Amino acid sequence: MLDPQLLRHQPGELAARLRQSRGFDLDATTLERLEGERKQLQVRTQELQNLRNTRSKAIGQAKAKGEDVAALMAEVAGFGDELKASEVRLESIRGEIEAIALGLPNLPDDSVPAGNDESGNVEQHRWGTPRTFDFAVRDHVELGTRHGWLDGDTAAKLSGARFTVLRGQLARLHRALAQFMLDLHAGEHGYEETNVPLLVNADSMRGTGQLPKFEDDLFATTVGDGDAAHKRYLIPTSEVPLTNIVRDEILDDARLPLRMTAHSMCFRAEAGSHGRDTRGMIRQHQFEKVELVSVARPEESDAEHERMTRCAEVVLEKLGLPYRRMLLCSGDMGFAARRTYDLEVWLPSQDTWREISSCSNCGDFQARRMQARWRNPATGKPELVHTLNGSGVAVGRALIAVMENYQNADGSIDVPEALRSYMGGADRIA
């Protein structure tokens, strides 16, 4: 959530910034009207509350003296209805303003390039050289289905489109990737391994920005009588539960930066991606990811962003997968991000780079929604933390990249050296 002072005092300027950087249309006129009415009602409500308090005190004093309080009682009753109506309307207006605020994306950092879509992203650097093949390259679907390792038909029978069944050595390679990433991030990169719930409440989804704007992209479930209080959402990424661990908390300075990692199932309805990447495992309703989350002091979050992105890069380098780092433009960033790096891995079958990790600095945007704070030792006062999240990396896409980059002419797949200890010492699967 953006600083409410921007909405209250600079709605026109905020609308212009959002339109230019995000292509987002904020109705500044409506916001100004609501804010003006809120101010008037708040003043009047406070006047009526003061009148009620002073008159109530006067009634008590008059009763103690044995005086007639009928006139005072009539006066209190007269403005009591107005006070109740003012309080109800004030709460309604605050709700309308909050609904507007919850729908506003984060403002990009000054270092973010302007742009409307991925064509405006800026390449930062590359690592590795894409392999040259002397045989016809197969994609991951061909490589997997010919051995019975990857089975979309059975998954469709069980669950429908955009699900996959993995078997045998490919299933083990998938598991090996997740274990390797967790061991690397927890053992070498200093993240605390964390196991989190896959079902979370609406407050958690709201805290990281999935609600209310992206409800159509979420899977939800209910128990009992099915009312809103019993509604739970399947997480689209473990960023949600990891980041919400600090919701409504005031952290000691000594705990920062707080770094956490988790391997989890992720669930996305992909409501806006019909017809995109329907073949194989590129875009699934259910997938696995190793997530990185950091909670940092504001002055350290930019350095923490670089560090987190580097941790994800090390995964790809240890796996020997060529990649490039992209700085996303303002129009291609996620809703909550103020600055994002995407890591794109080389896929030989597509002869192009595909996203495998996205690392974002959200500044205080999520922290303000969650009321996540730290006690600044310099002032002794609670202040908003900065939150960061990144894929370290997407397990399914890493599997695809390993399959395609390490394939052989006979359809076998070499096992990257970093994974062999997780594969019982095997250097090839066939």
**pLDDT per position as a tens digit, 360-411:** 999 999 999 999 999 999 999 999 999 999 999 999 999 999 999 999 999 9
Q: Which amino acid is at 120?
A: G
Residue 60 has pLDDT above 90, yes or no: no
- Which residues make up each annotated binding site for ATP? 268-270, 355-358
Q: Is 358 tagged catalytic?
A: yes
Q: Rounded mean pLDDT of 81-85? A: 88
3-state secondary structure the chain: CCCHHHHHHCHHHHHHHHHHHHCCCCCHHHHHHHHHHHHHHHHHHHHHHHHHHHHHHHHHHHHHHCCCCHHHHHHHHHHHHHHHHHHHHHHHHHHHHHHHHHCCCCCCCCCCCCCCCHHHCEEEEEECCCCCCCCCCCCHHHHHHCCCCEEHHHHHHHCCCCCCEECHHHHHHHHHHHHHHHHHHHHCCCCEECCCCCEECHHHHHHHCCCCCCHHHCCEEECCCCCHHHEEEECCCCHHHHHHCCCCCEECHHHCCEEEEEEEEEECCCCCCCCCCCCCCCCCCEEEEEEEEEEECHHHHHHHHHHHHHHHHHHHHHCCCCEEEEECCCCCCCCCCCEEEEEEEEECCCCEEEEEEEEEECCCHHHHHHCCEEECCCCCCEEECEEEEEEEEEHHHHHHHHHHHCECCCCCEECCHHHHHHHCCCCEEC
At residue 256, the pLDDT reads 98
Q: Is 397 tagged catalytic?
A: yes
List the catalytic residue out of 355, 383, 412, 420: 355
List the catalytic residue out of 283, 324, 354, 420: 283
For 179-201, the pLDDT digits (tens) are 999 999 999 999 999 999 999 99
Q: How far apart are the first and last CA of the chain?
A: 50
At residue 407, the pLDDT reads 98
Phi, psi of 258 (to 5 degrees): -95, 120
- Which residues make up each annotated binding site? 237-239, 268-270, 291, 355-358, 389, 391
Among 40-49, 277-286, 349-358, the range with the most confident prediction by mean pLDDT is 349-358
Among 29-43, 80-94, 172-186, the least confident range? 80-94
Residue 273 has pLDDT above 70, yes or no: no
Q: How confident is the model at residue 326 (pLDDT cuts 50, 70, 90)?
A: very high
Q: How confident is the model at residue 57 (pLDDT cuts 50, 70, 90)?
A: confident
- Which residues make up each annotated binding site for L-serine? 237-239, 268, 291, 389, 391
Q: Which of 67-92 are b and which e, b meaning 16 or more Cβ less than 10 Å from the residue's Cβ?
A: eebeebeeebeeeeeebeebeeebee
How far apart are the C-alpha atoms of 55 and 417, rounded to whole Å? 81
Predicted TM-score of the model (pTM): 0.93
Q: Find the Cα–Cα–Cα–Cα dihedral 26, 32, 34, 40, rounded to 10°.
A: 160
Instruction: Check: CB of residue 257 under 8 Å from CB of residue 295.
Output: yes
How far apart are the C-alpha atoms of 191 and 7, rounded to whole Å? 36
How far apart are the C-alpha atoms of 340 and 327, rounded to whole Å? 6
Q: Rounded mean pLDDT of 204-219? A: 96
At residue 71, the pLDDT reads 77
Share of the chain above pLDDT 70, in %: 98
Residue 274 has pLDDT above 80, yes or no: no
At residue 338, the pLDDT reads 98
List the catalytic residue out of 172, 206, 259, 268: 268
Residue 272 has pLDDT above 70, yes or no: no
At residue 79, the pLDDT reads 78
Among 48-57, 84-93, 147-156, 238-247, the least confident range? 48-57
Q: Is 138 tagged catalytic?
A: no
List the catalytic residue out of 86, 264, 349, 358: 358
Q: Which domains does the chain have, with CATH numbers?
A: 4-103 (1.10.287.40), 118-429 (3.30.930.10)
Q: Are strands 373-375 and 250-251 parallel, antiparallel or unpaired?
A: parallel
How far apart are the C-alpha atoms of 105 and 19, rounded to whole Å? 11
Q: Give me the residue label for tokens 């359809």.
A: 411
Among 45-59, 106-120, 205-219, 384-398, the least confident range? 45-59
Q: Is 355 tagged catalytic?
A: yes
How far apart are the C-alpha atoms of 329 and 342, rounded to whole Å? 11
**Which uninterrupted H or E stretch holds 325?**
strand 323-327
At residue 62, the pLDDT reads 81
At residue 226, the pLDDT reads 65
Q: Rounded mean pLDDT of 39-51? A: 91
At residue 382, the pLDDT reads 98
For 85-135, the pLDDT digits (tens) are 999 999 999 999 999 999 999 999 999 999 999 999 999 999 999 999 999
Q: Which residues pair with 327 in a beta bridge?
A: 122, 341
Residue 72 has pLDDT above 80, yes or no: no
List the catalytic residue out of 344, 369, 397, 404: 397
For 280-312, the pLDDT digits (tens) are 899 999 999 999 999 999 999 999 999 999 999
Tokens of 255: 């705990």
Phi, psi of 293 (to 5 degrees): -135, 135
Q: Give me the residue label for tokens 């990257």.
A: 416
